[in-house]
Amino acid sequence: MRLFSKYIWRFSLEKKEIYLTFDDGPTPEITNFVLDELQKYKAKATFFCIGKNIKNEPEIFKRIIAEKHAVGNHTQNHLSGWKSSKKEYVENFLECESEISNAIQKCQKQQLFRPPYGKLKKKQAKKILKKGYNIIMWSVLSADFDTSITKEECLENVLQNTTNGSIVVFHDSVKASKKLRYVLPKVLTQFTQQGFVFKAIP
């Protein structure tokens, strides 16, 4: 069986639901901006957090949890699977798992993982799947991190490609912040007006 078939790329085409995801946080100011915007629309999302950022920004991470968003593992140090050994990568993944577990304490922990850059070797993936994690990929890449496109192009990219069951990738990072601040409110407004619901990954 193809390993890719075990990854989750999108959800049901039958329901007007969108799954916004935010990689690389928590980041001061930027993650709080995202949370404030989501709150305005009673929208839920999923945050794929870097372990070292959870450690550095525990209060922001607590806010993500308190506001009932889902959280996922994005490795401790944003490692590329293609540039790491299986041992190094899995250890880094486990380090992030520990940060999440310590921060959430008695709350239920979703077993969600997204590989940084979307890059993951077969043996790394097998180990993570064996631990009971769902590997979450995406159907819409906003490209908010891409310095070669404008904020208007980033917005158009998301609006044109998002539909029922889409998993959309944004980044609550310094690099992506300028485009994110422009695009996210407009995405929330437009799809809410169209009758979509924004949900956290279950």
Q: What is the pLDDT along the chain (202 residues), one digit of tens a residue?
A: 455 678 999 999 999 999 999 999 999 999 999 999 999 999 999 999 999 999 999 999 999 999 999 999 999 999 999 999 999 999 999 999 999 998 886 555 569 999 999 999 999 999 999 999 999 999 999 999 999 999 999 999 999 999 999 999 999 999 999 999 999 999 999 999 999 999 999 9
Instruction: 96-105: list long-range contacts, CB under 8 Å, 24+ apart.
Output: 96/49, 96/50, 96/51, 96/54, 97/73, 98/51, 99/51, 99/52, 99/54, 99/55, 100/49, 100/51, 100/54, 100/71, 100/73, 103/54, 103/58, 103/61, 103/62, 103/65, 104/65, 104/71
Report residue 29 as tokens. Answer: 């100011």
pLDDT of 2 reads 53
Give the containing element (helix H, strand E) for 65: helix 58-66
pLDDT of 143 reads 97
What phi and psi values does residue 50 have, to the nearest 5 degrees?
-85, 130
pLDDT of 1 reads 40
- Which region holds residue 23: left if phi is over 0, alpha if psi is between -120 and 50, else beta? beta
Domains along the sequence of the chain with CATH: 3-198 (3.20.20.370)
Enter the pTM of the model: 0.95
